[in-house]
């Protein structure tokens, strides 16, 4: 700073002051997002969420007494109407989570879409449905539409040139094996939760741009 001319010193000081203010605001917003409910977070909760989510969200499950120990993959398949109308064929299962993993692995700047869209969408569905896949209130029905559109976008247009008429989604959950030094016995088999077939409606195609 001392080696700069007077005008440059003023500019540098203003830049540093701006960075300081932005840093303070950022730290305050993140703190309010993770702190216990208080007067400020109650009054400005919507503004805090708009700033923090999803880029700066903190997930404390890593530090929980019993952290997550499962790999959950979301898979989908489609029933495709032939282009000439001669019949329908069912595709194989496509591992959408594996596609996200491939896009993230080795990427220094992975997309938030690859990291969060499918994973959070599936959590949204699971948390708003019971064990029989029955929707719990309007949030459950909203989660169905959201997940359906994500899957349609990920599947894309059939290579055969046909039309996707129905889709089915399932999760594949496998417990991570205990480390070699542990005496804990774990069941590492994969367990599936398959949802009913969903018919693709015109609104799904319109809102996914397909």
Q: What is the mean pLDDT of the chain?
A: 84
Q: Is 142 helix (H, G, I), strand (E, B) or coil?
A: helix
CB 115 within 8 A of CB 96: no
Give residues with Cβ within 8 angstroms of 138, minimum separation 6.
none
Q: How far apart are CA 105 and CA 114, in angstroms?
A: 10
pTM listed for this prediction: 0.66
Instruction: Give the residues across from 194 on adjacent strands.
Output: 170
* Model pLDDT, residue 39: 85
* Buried-state track 133-150, b at ≥16 Cβ within 10 A, e below 16: eeeeeeebeebbebbbbb
Give 140-188 pLDDT, tens digit per residue.
Answer: 888 999 999 999 999 988 887 789 999 999 999 998 888 888 888 888 8
At 193 the pLDDT is: 93
Structural domain spans, the chain: 6-58, 67-207
Least confident of 44-58, 123-137, 190-204: 44-58
Task: Report pLDDT digits (tens) over 14-62.
Answer: 999 999 999 998 888 888 887 777 888 888 888 887 787 766 666 555 5
């Amino acid at each position: 700073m001392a080696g700069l001319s007077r005008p440059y010193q003023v500019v540098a000081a203003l830049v540093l002051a701006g960075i300081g203010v932005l840093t303070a605001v950022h730290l305050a917003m993140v703190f309010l997002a993770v702190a216990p409910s208080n007067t400020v977070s109650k009054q400005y909760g919507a503004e805090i969420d708009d700033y923090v989510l999803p880029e700066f969200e903190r997930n404390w499950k890593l530090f929980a007494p019993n952290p997550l120990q499962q790999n959950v993959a979301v898979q989908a398949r489609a029933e495709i109407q032939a282009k000439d109308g001669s019949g329908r064929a069912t595709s194989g299962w496509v591992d959408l989570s594996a596609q996200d993993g491939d896009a993230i692995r080795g990427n220094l700047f992975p997309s938030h879409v690859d990291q969060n869209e499918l994973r959070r969408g599936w959590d949204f569905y699971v948390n708003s449905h019971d064990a029989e896949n029955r929707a719990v209130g309007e949030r459950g029905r909203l989660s169905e539409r959201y997940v359906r559109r994500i899957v349609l976008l990920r599947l894309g247009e059939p290579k055969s040139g046909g039309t996707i008429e129905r889709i089915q989604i399932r999760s594949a959950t496998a417990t991570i094996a205990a480390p070699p030094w542990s005496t804990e016995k774990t069941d590492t088999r994969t367990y599936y939760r398959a949802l009913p077939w969903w018919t693709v409606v015109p609104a799904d195609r319109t809102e996914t741009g397909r």
